[in-house]
Structure 1
């Protein structure tokens, strides 16, 4: 057996060993749970093996030439400058390989972009730093549209310094750190779901690896992508676009359930939406308790848990907003502040949450204003001037 064949066989054996071991490991592309994701995985593995063969032949020839035709063995170099036959071969063969890979790749891309004949539609909107999901009713009845925000779960919020410990120094000991949410997206198994992906503020990216779904969420644009999941389960993803300081804290969680369970869940959400906002009056103690929880969930990332602010995010301790009229304070939370990092929370939070946050901020950390906002106050402010 020639030296070239020995080298080629050794490199091939090593590549087979490594790739065979990698195929079942977490650092290889995951196969996923949809027809599309499985086809993507298969095409990925075909491309990998093509690269292995090319690598073996290329580096085998290179190492063989370096060894067999080294100066000490062949002191008189060859006189030829090129070979037309060889140049034709190494031009035609890569062209054939590219065409052979391009045909199935283009076919798969066309299939991935075909969202026609979908069974249901969900609007996915990225916010800094959360996701909004809106189920668009197929009968075009807005009263049946269900929408909600999906935020990083409370347990992860307490430990998002990303140091492996929470703020008190306690080690993180739960499995889905930074990959759990308070309100997951729920879809039925075996149904073709079309996602309309957009953004409210900056560019985000909706990515669920198990579905082979990845689509940019761009302000002012609506992108389409779809999936059909055949296996019930919980599948996780993340925002795959660097979208700001809390980019790493807006995970995606999708619950794929049987049709009957989905129908029951949707019916409860429709009834919840039709019941209207909770405008019940709260005591100061209730508002402070609810406000602390809501503040830590939605506001502490920027203004800090102690209200002292951080960089471009101003302190709330004795600030003009706190010292000013409470209606102006409500206005800032509902509508945000143009030209600053303070975004509008009027669509993101309920009237009860906004009232509790305003009350908490005005009476925490030594502010002690003594006044309070009620959910009805927020509701009246948001609907002021609207026609009945």
Structure 2
């Protein structure tokens, strides 16, 4: 708006019909140096925090608390909790699946999480860095949960990775973000964030095993 305002002001008040003559001047080395150097300095200054942030965004190896492998299928996800021995399939919840059927006679508006409910949720501890490995068994999918700030393609034959840390307990919903066939719209993702104690209890209930954590005393002795 400011630029267009200045342009209109110049056109109206500095037009030839008002007797205004164009200024006659040649190049200015000082001006040219300024409009080259100043933007360059600004870009350099911005590059440092931007680079630091980008490196942190892609750092999937430092201080990782939990690693989960997500595999996309037509049309569901499978999850493998590395180091915990927990794995399962997660697909559209039965109620949503019934509602979506033609002539089901059911009102989707009566289900607040229609098409965003699953039969088995991903469970992670709050405040922990979760490393997510994504791949696919058939076509390209994409794991996406907006509130967790992550979206990563799941490609057959490749393993992509990303990480997220949920700051608050609760339920976070997402879906496949890559058109993957006729039931693409029915491939939701639900992540439940719980306390560390609840997470450990959940792992035990799933028949998994908790990795052994060395005590601070053992770690201190090993470092000497």
| C-alpha displacement of 1:169 | 6.8
* Distance in 1 separating the partners of 2:159 and 2:26: 56
1:158 aligned partner: 98
Q: 2:67·2:131 contact (CA, 8 Å) conserved in 1?
A: yes
Question: Which residues in structure 2 correspond to 1:46-125 (within 5 Å)?
Answer: 56=2, 58-74=3-19, 76-80=21-25, 85-116=30-61, 117-125=63-71
The CA deviation string for residues 44-64 of structure 1, in whole angstroms up to 9 with x for no partner, is xxxxxxxxxxxx4x4444343
Q: 1:184·1:255 contact (CA, 8 Å) conserved in 2?
A: yes
1:147 aligned partner: 87
Q: 2:127·2:167 contact (CA, 8 Å) conserved in 1?
A: yes
Q: 2:194 aligns with which of 232, 244, 257?
A: 257
SS in 1 for 2:109: coil
Question: Which residues in structure 2 correspond to 1:264-343 (within 5 Å)?
Answer: 264-270=201-207
* Distance in 2 separating the partners of 1:95 and 1:159: 58
The CA deviation string for residues 137-185 of structure 1, in whole angstroms up to 9 with x for no partner, is 1xxxxxx511111112223223447xxx974374523222222211110
By relative contact order (CA 8 Å, sep 6+), the higher-ranking structure is 2
* Distance in 2 separating the partners of 1:250 and 1:123: 17
Q: 1:194·1:226 contact (CA, 8 Å) conserved in 2?
A: yes
| C-alpha displacement of 1:75 | 5.3
* Distance in 2 separating the partners of 1:201 and 1:266: 28
1:83–1:230 distance in 2 versus 1, CA, 3 Å: same
2:144 aligned partner: 207
Which one has the largest radius of gyration?
Answer: 1
* Distance in 2 separating the partners of 1:68 and 1:155: 68
The CA deviation string for residues 55-109 of structure 1, in whole angstroms up to 9 with x for no partner, is x4x4444343333323443554444576555444444343333333332221111
* Distance in 2 separating the partners of 1:259 and 1:127: 30
TM-score by length of 2: 0.79
Q: 1:133·1:149 contact (CA, 8 Å) conserved in 2?
A: yes
Q: 1:160·1:249 contact (CA, 8 Å) conserved in 2?
A: no
Gaps of 5+ in 2: 209-224
| C-alpha displacement of 1:189 | 1.3
Q: 1:166·1:172 contact (CA, 8 Å) conserved in 2?
A: no
Q: 1:126·1:217 contact (CA, 8 Å) conserved in 2?
A: yes
Corresponding position: 1:231 with 2:168: yes
1:133 aligned partner: 79
SS in 1 for 2:206: helix
Corresponding position: 1:246 with 2:183: yes
CA RMSD of superposed structures (Å): 2.7
